[in-house]
């Protein structure tokens, strides 16, 4: 078992790190303050190959692995978890279109997505069905053989109103998970509208809105795969999404740990450097140890997904649950170590605390991760 990185992995990790430090880090605080969506900077990231990281090269993507993606997203999130998280969603949708779409759909959409000329969103959650995603109510009724008429709403959609394409789970059949299909809705479609941007605790560099469908007529040709396959696609997409958001947590926690180390070496109290206090040394040691454990879990889950291992879904849930919980704790500990300065926006720690808090909720809450893990364990023990 080799825990080292290849030369290629070190190269694109370095590219991501340089981009994050030069482009994202100097502006992340302002984007958070102004609720600014950094479209041009996201396009710059796409020009580096970060718009279709694990889309196969034959479809115009970078053709990297889930582990490679985790390395990239951790480096980008070191500067800005919010903007990086939007890029992870963009990549997840690009992959879904590449994998589940047909040749005509890939030709229509993928090149623009990978280049960042079109931004994409993933629409699963509804106002009345969050964790119970299979209970979604948005319904698409066939209008002849060529169109669906769609009615319903999606909630908490990252990129709502800003993205150009919305990969949407909607009910085309019965009221079970088998009645759900995956349909791409293009911005500008009659009957598609958006709620006001949510006023959020964090993730302020990306808009989050309701997405509403009112007699929205969408071509059947926009459906990915056969009818009734949407819920399966959604769950498969979420396995990778959980690794991605866990990787974003790693980046944010590493930034906060580094800031805590630097502050502790500079700050003096009671005539001594903070680093002379054993209680603080132990705190830093625990933060570093917990972060390394989380990173190993994320990388192991990514390899399981890359290899199609039978326990990949469980490992993705474990990694997401542990990494997002522990990395939020590390950021909070870093803020505590900074004292009052940690609460001031100039030091940026509070931005990481706010951004990483939502990671424990999205891509399936950490309570749902425990349900998935327990279910898989019990199935294996049966």
Q: Closest by alpha carbon to 152, among 180, 176, 131?
A: 180
pLDDT digits (tens, 9 = 90+) for 327-357: 999 999 999 999 999 999 999 999 999 999 9
Look at residue 212 in the predicted model and tell me its pLDDT: 97
- Co-location of 135 and 94 in the same domain: no
What is the band of 144 on the pLDDT scale with cuts at 50, 70, 90? confident
State the average pLDDT for the chain. Answer: 96
- Co-location of 190 and 245 in the same domain: no
Segments forming the whole domain that contains residue 18:
7-119
Question: Is 292 among the domain residues?
Answer: yes
Catalytic residue among 126, 363, 367, 379: 363
- Co-location of 79 and 125 in the same domain: no
- Co-location of 224 and 366 in the same domain: no
> Is residue 44 over pLDDT 90?
yes
pLDDT digits (tens, 9 = 90+) for 262-312: 999 998 889 898 988 899 999 999 999 999 999 999 999 999 999 999 999
Question: Is 332 among the domain residues?
Answer: yes
CB atoms within 10 A of CB 343: 13
Look at residue 335 in the predicted model and tell me its pLDDT: 98
Does the predicted TM-score (pTM) go above 0.85? yes
The number of CA neighbours under 13 Å toward the Cβ of 116 is 18
What is the band of 134 on the pLDDT scale with cuts at 50, 70, 90? confident
CATH number of residue 68's parent domain: 1.10.540.10
The number of domains in the chain is 3
Residue 104 is among the residues annotated as catalytic for this protein: no
Question: Is 130 among the domain residues?
Answer: yes
What is the band of 179 on the pLDDT scale with cuts at 50, 70, 90? very high
CATH number of residue 267's parent domain: 1.20.140.10
Contacts of 294 (CB under 8 A, 6+ apart): 246, 249, 250, 253, 319, 322, 323, 326, 327
- Co-location of 17 and 61 in the same domain: yes
> Is residue 132 over pLDDT 90?
no
Question: Is 1 among the domain residues?
Answer: no
Look at residue 114 in the predicted model and tell me its pLDDT: 98
């Amino acid at each position: 078992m080799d825990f080292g990185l290849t030369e290629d992995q070190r190269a694109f990790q370095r590219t991501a790190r340089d981009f994050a430090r030069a482009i994202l880090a100097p502006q992340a605080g302002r984007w958070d303050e102004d609720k600014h969506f950094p479209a041009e900077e996201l396009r710059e990231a796409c020009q580096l190959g970060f718009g279709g990281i694990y889309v196969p090269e034959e479809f115009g993507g970078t053709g990297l692995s889930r582990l490679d993606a985790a390395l990239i997203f951790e480096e980008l999130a070191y500067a800005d978890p919010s903007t990086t998280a939007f890029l992870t969603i963009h990549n997840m949708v690009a992959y879904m279109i590449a994998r589940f779409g047909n040749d005509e759909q890939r030709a229509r959409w993928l090149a623009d997505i990978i280049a960042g000329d079109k931004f994409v969103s993933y629409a699963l959650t509804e106002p009345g069905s969050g964790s119970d995603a299979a209970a979604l109510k948005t319904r698409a009724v066939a209008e002849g053989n060529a169109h669906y008429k769609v009615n319903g709403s999606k909630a908490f959609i990252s990129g709502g109103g800003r993205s150009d394409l919305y990969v949407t789970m909607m009910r085309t059949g019965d009221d079970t998970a088998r009645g759900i299909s995956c349909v791409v809705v293009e911005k500008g479609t009659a009957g598609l509208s958006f709620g006001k941007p949510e006023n959020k605790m964090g993730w302020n560099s990306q808009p989050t809105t309701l997405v509403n469908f009112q007699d929205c007529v969408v071509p059947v040709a926009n459906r990915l795969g056969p009818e009734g396959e949407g819920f399966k696609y959604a769950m498969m997409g979420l396995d990778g999404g959980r690794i991605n958001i866990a990787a974003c947590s790693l980046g944010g926690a590493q930034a906060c740990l580094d800031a805590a180390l630097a502050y502790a070496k500079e700050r003096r109290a009671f005539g001594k450097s903070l680093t002379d206090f054993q209680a603080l040394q132990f705190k830093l040691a625990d933060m570093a140890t917990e972060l390394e454990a989380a990173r190993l879990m994320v990388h192991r889950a990514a390899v399981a997904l890359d290899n199609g291992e039978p326990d990949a879904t469980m490992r993705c849930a474990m990694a997401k649950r542990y990494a997002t919980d522990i990395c939020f704790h590390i950021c909070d500990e870093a803020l505590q170590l900074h004292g009052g300065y940690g609460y001031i926006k100039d030091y940026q720690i509070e931005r990481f605390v706010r951004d990483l808090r939502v990671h424990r909720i999205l891509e399936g809450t950490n309570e749902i991760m425990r349900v998935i893990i327990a279910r898989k364990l019990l199935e294996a023990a049966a």
